[in-house]
Amino acid sequence: MKELYELYYERLVYFGQKFIADRQVVEDIAIDVFVNIFERGYENAKYALFTAMKNGCMNHVRNEERRHVIIDRLFTEEDIELEIIESGVVKILMSALDKLPAESKQVLQMFYFDGKSCVEIGHEINKPADTVRSLKRSGLNNLFKKLTT
| Domain final position from 17, 46, 74 | 74
In angstroms, what CA-CA distances link 103 with 29, 98, 144? Answer: 62, 11, 17
* C-beta separation of 30 from 18 below 8 A: no
| Domain final position from 40, 74, 108 | 74
pLDDT tens digits for 52-111?
A: 999 999 999 888 887 776 666 666 666 667 766 777 787 888 889 999 999 999 999 999
Q: Which residue type, as a one-letter code, is found at position 132?
A: V
Distance CA 62, CA 148 (A): 52
The DSSP-derived string for 110-133 is IIIIS---HHHHHHHHT--HHHHH
Number of domains present in the structure of the chain: 2
Considering the chain, what is the average pLDDT of its residues? 86
What CATH number is attached to the domain comprising 118?
Answer: 1.10.10.10
State whether 91 and 141 are in the same domain. Answer: yes
